[in-house]
Amino acid sequence: MKIEQIYTGCLAQGAYYIQSGNEAVIIDPLREVDSYIEKAKENGATIKYIFETHFHADFVSGHVDLAKKTGAEIVFGPTATTEFDSYIGTDDEIFEVGKAKIKLLHTPGHTMESSTFLLIDEDGKEKAIFSGDTLFIGDVGRPDLAVKSDLTEEDLAGFLFDSLRNKIMTLPDHVVVYPAHGAGSACGKNMSSETWDTLGNQKKTNYALRADMSKKEFIKEVTEGIMPPPQYFAKN
């Protein structure tokens, strides 16, 4: 099995290439997609799925072009609606990639469709999570970017607390966390320059994963000190 983080420093963004056997998936692709296609070709693989952890406001995703060029299926988490062809997955749904599996964990909070993808290797071991903007290294996703008339940032922060505690922190400590962004992104307030870590270490060092933190404390922590979002985020 192959896992490759494709990190673009100017955007502080991580896309991911995962391959098992002769099948591959791309997670959160950037606009220019030829490099993903070439990578799969070099490795004798077909791109089967394009997983989007959430709708992105800070960069243009290449999912539609990549799907057109490869025939791969675009997958979003629950509650997502699109004007292009896509598959809306369900919580805990399993997707097979070669002899590996990818499990969709619905983790709303940053946005309501936000999902984390759990990679289960060929031996059935929980290997890694691709956490999008739900969990960063040293931080968690901002809960103020998807505020709508019926949802406040406090509401979203509450959803994020539940997602982290019930979906992510219950996973084994050895699981590797691969987020969508690192330091320099506007999607968090305290992100590390590191681009991956173990979940166990994040439980020890990430302020938002403190074991004895109440939901009320969490909401206060993650909503304080947030810089105003770039004006184009709402339009995107």
Dump the DSSP string for the chain: -EEEEEEEGGGTEEEEEEEETTEEEEES-BS--HHHHHHHHHTT-EEEEEE-SS--SSS-B-HHHHHHHH-PEEEE-TT---SS--EE--TT-EEEETTEEEEEEE--SSSTT-EEEEEE-TTS-EEEEEEETTB-SS-B--SSTT-BTTB-HHHHHHHHHHHIIIIITTS-TTPEEEESB-TT-TT-SS--S-S-EEHHHHHHH-GGG-TT--HHHHHHHHHTTPPPPPTHHHH-
Which of the two residues, 193 and 120, has the higher pLDDT score?
120
Res 139 pLDDT > 90: yes
- pLDDT score at 113: 95
Domain boundaries, the chain: 2-235
- CATH architecture, domain defined by 2-235: 4-Layer Sandwich (3.60)
Query: Does 41 have pLDDT greater than 90?
Result: yes
State how far the Cα of 201 lies from the Cα of 155, in Å rounded to an integer: 28
pLDDT (tens digit, 9 = 90+) per residue, 170-220? 999 999 999 987 765 555 556 667 889 999 999 999 999 999 999 999 999
Q: How confident is the model at residue 150 (pLDDT cuts 50, 70, 90)?
A: confident
Q: Per-residue pLDDT for 226 more than 90?
A: no
Residue 145 pLDDT exceeds 80: no
Task: Provide the phi-psi class of 26: left if phi over 0, else alpha when psi is between -120 and 50, else beta.
Answer: beta
pLDDT at 13: 79
pLDDT reported for residue 169: 98
Residue 231 has pLDDT above 70, yes or no: no
Residue 129: exposed, middle, or buried by beta-carbon count in 10 A (0-12, 13-18, 19+)? Answer: buried
pLDDT in the model for residue 232 = 45
Q: Give the bridge partners for 198, in sequence order.
A: 176
pLDDT digits (tens, 9 = 90+) for 10-32: 667 789 999 999 999 999 998 88
What does pLDDT average to over the chain?
Answer: 90
In the prediction, which pLDDT does 61 show?
A: 82
More confident residue, 180 or 236: 180
pLDDT tens string 76-89:
999 999 999 999 99
More confident residue, 33 or 236: 33
Q: How far is CA 19 from the centre of its chain?
A: 18
Question: How far is the CA of 98 from the CAs of 46, 50, 163, in angstroms?
Answer: 10, 15, 28
- pTM for this prediction: 0.91
**% of the chain at pLDDT higher than 70:** 86
